[in-house]
Structure 1
Amino acid sequence: MYWRVLPVVALAAPTHALIRMGCSQLVVQRLDPLVTPGQVPSPHVHQIIGGNSLNATMHPSNHDIPKMSTCTTCQAADDFSNYWTAVLYFKAQNGTYKRVNQKGNAGFEGQKGGMTVYYMQNQLADYEQKTQVTAFKPGFRMFVGDLNARTLEEAKPYRQLTYTCLQDMSTRYPETKYLPNKPCPAGIMVNVRFPTCWDGVNLDSPNHMDHVSYPANGTFESQGPCPTSHPVKIPQLMFEVIFDTAPFNNKADWPTDGTQPFMWSFGDTTGYGTHGDYVFGWKDDSLQKIMNEPCYVNCKSMKTQTIDQMNSCTVEQTAKEDMDSWVKEIPGQAMTEE
């Protein structure tokens, strides 16, 4: 599976595209068509957004995402991609668990769970997105992170997977690599930033990571150059996922040993194992057209839909499991104390 392109050449006039869009929750379930295709249920729970053609396999040879989807939970009406992360749980002192709901970001109040998705050419704070990028191609997919990481050293290769303890909905700093160890008044924001350099050939790789790379030095924000092995600049794809931890902020309910009470659905209490998945599914060349347009957030070439339309797009669980009640065990996890 490959697609040959040449390294991007600078344009005579700079382009400036950056888009920020809300995406409501499509489904919460144990399904992972990227890492464990065909396995139902998958090892741990995910919250998934995007197009409703989602299924357990979604192989690009026989699954044309834009054609097979009839709706999307994303604000961009031409984006039928699927995006997902693991789910956060709260562990009570009696040993039971409750899934932490997601909530919409500032500007997307009324959105049903989900996350905020960015496609950027330069750093988020730069209103002049002057770097030309090549949009993802049909069949493209990628993964970032290591769900087995439990130390800072193990998490270091994934430079920009972080957490923000929200004091209010405008908080963006500081960011940490570990789960916050104190109550966060407005919730915990999980920041997932994907690599921004592509080898220009492979739409995927066995570990879903080797065909992409972070800059050779510096960061995307500092406009570090792509390595020669991955010369093609692609958009910075970023998720902001806000877990509504406020209902669990009473310190009297937290562990008596002083540790924090939240656990990822794959059993991690450190936060170092956070990760994200992406399966591209924009219609035709709609994403490239947006990336080529001089625009910042409000792009004329991006067709949009209402929050009500986003919220109305859902799919049934493939593996039927209770995702809303207090449970003795997180689905898929034979829990052990870490």
Structure 2
Amino acid sequence: MYWKSLLVLALAVPGRAIVRFHCSQLVRERLDPLVEPGANPSAHVHQIVGGNSFNATMEPGKDMPGESTCTTCTFADDFSNYWTAVMYFRAKNGTYKRVPNIGNNQFEKANGGLTIYYMQDAIYDENQKSNVTAFKPGFRMFIGDVHARTLAEASRYRYLTYTCLDTWTQRSPETIAFPQRKCKEGIMTTLRFPTCWDGKNLDSPDHMSHMSYPETGTFESGGPCPATHPVRTAQVMFEVLWDTKQFNDLEWPEDGRNPFVWSFGDATGYANHADYVFGWKDNSLQKVLDSPCYFYTNCSEYGHKLQSVEDMNKCAQKPVLEEDIDGWLDALPGGYQSQYGPTSG
């Protein structure tokens, strides 16, 4: 019903764009140029999509479109990099196995990756009326807390959620912690970035302070930006589909706890987080946002360059470090073990 409703909305041309597209997997490796610039390897495994100029440092002055030769994203002018941590299954015997991420609805043929949204109003509003400012070259941001292990610690961040999928198209209810039951069709994580910019800084020491949530309400409810962060930007949102269903027939841990864990050890799910480094070519993102482009289906009609899933899948990088991240492992890459919060039982 969810996707049928969106298909109906797609037939109504919006005043301005609401964009939904996919980026296939570029690489999975231990690099994190935002939080641990220059570290090779970084502490834990990430999955990265976007332009193939991704590297360990990603200096703010880097010309990402100019240095990339391809992108894994539907929009051929989007050389940004988007990344999240990687999910693992913890077996009864204490070993770990990476959970594959798969192509989202309408992108089933994609080589894993993330589905990306750029929104100007609520996702269900086909008549996008607001004017928002596209990000500038050098812009970057981070959302979440890798150290969060309780609901109180996670509550600082709005809408970093999980959906236990009983059907392929289900999108609710959402939880802030890992689902505590077997999910028939897998687990979807949804990560929504702040939407108010201070108008000055392309980054900040914590990669978050230059951005803010609305002063009241939410982006979707039209809440106003605070005076300290007056510039309203697009809502950037990731959706990631994790193929946990293949582990449903295996023995889960004897203690009955959730068997899934992030690549940095969090077994509560409260430390869900994501990174974004802007890299759209020239002013192509602003042109997309200013056009009546719905999802990606009609965007080529307005001059926006799109590429096929097959071409997206061809763009890839080799990991800089040769290590096993996919086999049955005694410890997570980087030496992590499962970490539970003090209130998780």
TM-score range, shorter chain: over 0.9
Distance 2:337 2:293 in 1: 48
Instruction: List aligned pairs for 1:278-317, cutoff 5 A.
Output: 278-297=276-295, 298-299=298-299, 300-317=302-319
Once the two structures are TM-superposed, the CA of residue 16 in structure 1 deviates from its matched residue by 2.0
Tell me the number of residue pairs that the alignment of Structure 1 and Structure 2 aligns. 323
> Residues 59-115 of structure 1: CA distance to partner in whole angstroms, max 9, x if unpaired?
022x21000000001111000000000000001111110000100011001100101
Could you tell which deviates more after superposition, 298-307 or 22-31? Answer: 298-307
Q: Which runs of 5+ in 2 are unaligned?
A: 1-13, 341-345
TM-score, normalising length from structure 2? 0.92
CA deviations on 1:194-250 (whole Å, 9 max, x unpaired) are 000000000000000000000001001101000000000000000000111011012
Give the letter aligned to residue 331 of structure 2. E
Q: Is the 8 A contact 1:289 1:301 kept in 2?
A: no
Instruction: Look up the match of 2:44.
Output: 44
Instruction: Choose from 251, 254, 278 the match for 2:252.
Output: 254
SS in 1 for 2:109: coil
Q: Which moved more, 1:121-130 or 1:298-307?
A: 298-307
> Does the 8 Å CA contact 2:261/2:338 hold for their aligned counterparts?
no
Look up the equivalent residue of 2:317 and give its one-letter code. V
TM-score by length of 1: 0.94
Deviations 1:289-315 (A, max 9, x none): 010012221323421101110001000
Distance in 2, Cα, partners of 1:161 & 1:136: 21
Equivalent residues in 2 for 1:316-327, closer than 5 Å = 316-327=318-329
Per the TM alignment, residue 320 of structure 1 is displaced from its structure 2 partner at its CA by 1.6
The equivalent position to 1:276 in structure 2, one of 261, 274, 277, is 274
Distance 1:97 1:69 in 2: 34
Superposition CA RMSD, Å? 1.1
Counterpart Cα distance in 1 of 2:268 and 2:339: 12
* Counterpart check, 1:17 vs 2:17: yes
Cα gap change, 1:219 to 1:255, in 2 (>3 Å): same
| Equivalent position SS for 1:290 | helix
Letter in 1 for 2:247: F
Helix, strand or coil for the counterpart of 1:247?
A: helix
2: distance between equivalents of 1:333 and 1:207? 25
| One-letter amino acid of the structure 1 residue matched with residue 190 of structure 2 | N
Q: Which runs of 4+ in 1 moved over 4 A?
A: none
**Is structure 2 residue 334 aligned with structure 1 residue 332?**
yes
| Residue 114 in structure 1 maps to residue 113 in structure 2 | yes
Provide the C-alpha distance between the structure 2 equivalents of 1:322 and 1:286, rounded to a whole number of angstroms: 38
Indicate the residue corresponding to 1:96 in structure 2: 95
**Which sections of structure 1, spanning at least 5 residues, go unmatched?**
1-13
